[in-house]
Chain A
Amino acid sequence: MDLEHGSKKPPAAPAAAAPTRNKLLQLRDRLVAVQPVVLRAAAALAAVVAAVVMALNTQSYTAVVAIVGTRPLTQTFTAEFRDTPAFVYFVIANAIAGAYNLVVLIIRRLTLRRRTASLVVHMLDMVIMALLATGAATAASMAELGKNGNLHARWNPICDRFGSFCSRGGIAIVSSFIGVALMLALNLLSAAANAHRPNMAGQ
């Protein structure tokens, strides 16, 4: 490995393929050694942030709806995440994903059966990633309808009236998509780490 020889170039007999291949191997080793803990902590953070921001997302405004005699009648319009099953599912899915990642972070340090644990965690990672993807896409579909409405279904957009509700919801959805991407990277990392185990004897 190049770690022992320092920056000396390997002999040029295998032509240009050897230094590139060594660099690729180095890069791969470095990527695999980036502890999956960092990725998993980031994914947990993203999912928890998404769940919390959406759960606390509420906005209300008061408008005058009628004037009776001289007294105006006001009504309060509220938007919160419970109004739509899409956002409810979004909060639940992100809460499950965040809790799962936190539990795995804690438990992976304690368990001893490495091989079974890593297999089960890898499988569950995929399932949780699918769940997160579903939740994020559902909420994004609802958010897009809320922002643009649908002309053909006669559905009016609501983001002109509930501006900060929409922007906070957007932040939550973006955070959830980041969580999906991080879990995808985690899956790939687990696959790379487990696939090349017999080749890396020292690890």
Chain B
Amino acid sequence: METSRVKPGFNGVGAGLDGSSRRGGYMGGVGAPAAGGGGRGAPVDACGVALRVFVLAATLVSAVVMGVDRQTRTIQITLADTLPPLQVPVTAKWSFSSAFVYFVVANAMVCLFSAAALAACRRRGAVVPVMVGDLLALALLFSAVGAAAEFGILGERGNSHVRWAKVCNVYGAFCERAMAAVIVSLLAAFANLVMLMLTILAIHKHSSYY
């Protein structure tokens, strides 16, 4: 296997796919000429700009959609036959459920981290914190999706064993918006997973074990 020694920090065009023009260390994207995740050559970019931008956008969207989710319905309560029915406004807000609160907070945290990682990932010393943060973001996103989806399923179907009635027949739009936010967050979680997988591929490519 021919190994052409290139200066560290210089990434020639098309040097990413075979591992032979780069030795040592795991530094995918330092000096790479605007390797924006596609384009010419290095898919093993340590920064993964395209995927990270998608994660940023998707978590932002899902946090915002869940954060403004509320619905007010007026239901009629009949006290007696002679009196006109009472109109009682009832509200469903996202903050009524701690699972949704955790969902919004987790998505906001991952969004902030993605922004910080996009700003800092070209630096040499930022590789390890970015990877640690990516793993934590993975765990956060998937757990947020799990918790919010669980609450959504309980709202959709109720639970007959525990005698919990379903809620989504009354609050249809609220449930739909929450479900949309959860799905978008799930897409962000999978994008984070793919980004981490690409990072691991980059690590394994650049470590010459043999």
B203 touches A191 (CB 8 A): yes
Asked if A4 CB lies within 8 Å of chain B CBs, one says no
Asked if B197 CB lies within 8 Å of chain A CBs, one says yes
A133 touches B200 (CB 8 A): no
**Contacts A79-B161, A188-B132; is A130 near B138 (CB within 8 Å)?**
yes
Whole-angstrom CA separation of A36 from B145 in the bound complex = 29
Segment at the interface with A among B19-27, B55-63, B108-116: B19-27
Whole-angstrom CA separation of A151 from B165 in the bound complex = 12
User: How far in angstroms is the closest Cβ of chain A from B187?
Assistant: 14
Which residues of chain B are within 8 angstroms of A145 by Cβ–Cβ distance? Answer: 99, 151, 154
User: How far in angstroms is the closest Cβ of chain A from B161?
Assistant: 4
Whole-angstrom CA separation of A131 from B146 in the bound complex = 10
B204 touches A141 (CB 8 A): no
Q: From A115, A122, A135, A138, name the one whose CB has the most chain B CB atoms within 10 angstroms.
A: A138
Whole-angstrom CA separation of A187 from B165 in the bound complex = 41
Segment at the interface with B among A44-52, A64-72, A152-160: A152-160
B159 touches A137 (CB 8 A): no
**Contacts A130-B138, A152-B92, A191-B131; is A86 near B207 (CB within 8 Å)?**
no
Tell me which residues from 165 to 203 in chain A have a Cβ below 8 Å from any Cβ of chain B.
Answer: 180, 184, 187-188, 191, 194-199
Asked if A164 CB lies within 8 Å of chain B CBs, one says no
Asked if B11 CB lies within 8 Å of chain A CBs, one says no
Asked if A54 CB lies within 8 Å of chain B CBs, one says no
A115 touches B204 (CB 8 A): yes
Q: How many residues of A contact B (CB 8 A)?
A: 48
Q: Mark A102-138, 1 if CB is under 8 A from B, else 0.
A: 0000000000001100110011001101110111111
A142 touches B96 (CB 8 A): no
A137 touches B154 (CB 8 A): no
A interface, by DSSP: helix, strand, loop or mixed? Answer: helix
**Contacts A86-B150, A141-B151, A191-B203; is A133 near B96 (CB within 8 Å)?**
no
Q: CB-nearest residue of chain B relative to A154?
A: B165
Asked if B44 CB lies within 8 Å of chain A CBs, one says no
Tell me which residues from 142 to 180 in chain B have a Cβ below 8 Å from any Cβ of chain A.
Answer: 142-151, 153-155, 159, 161-165, 167
Asked if A84 CB lies within 8 Å of chain B CBs, one says yes
B207 touches A146 (CB 8 A): no
Q: Mark A20-31, 1 if CB is under 8 A from B, else 0.
A: 000000000000
B143 touches A134 (CB 8 A): yes
Q: Which of A119, A123, A141, A187 contacts B135 (CB 8 A)?
A: A187
A137 touches B207 (CB 8 A): no
A–B complex contacts, Cβ < 8 Å, 9 sampled: A79-B161, A118-B204, A133-B139, A141-B99, A141-B147, A142-B154, A194-B200, A194-B204, A195-B26
Residues of chain A whose beta carbon lies under 8 Å from any beta carbon of chain B = 79, 83-86, 114-115, 118-119, 122-123, 126-127, 129-131, 133-138, 140-142, 144-146, 148, 150-156, 158, 180, 184, 187-188, 191, 194-199
The 5 closest A-B pairs by CB, nearest first: A137-B143, A137-B146, A134-B146, A83-B161, A141-B147
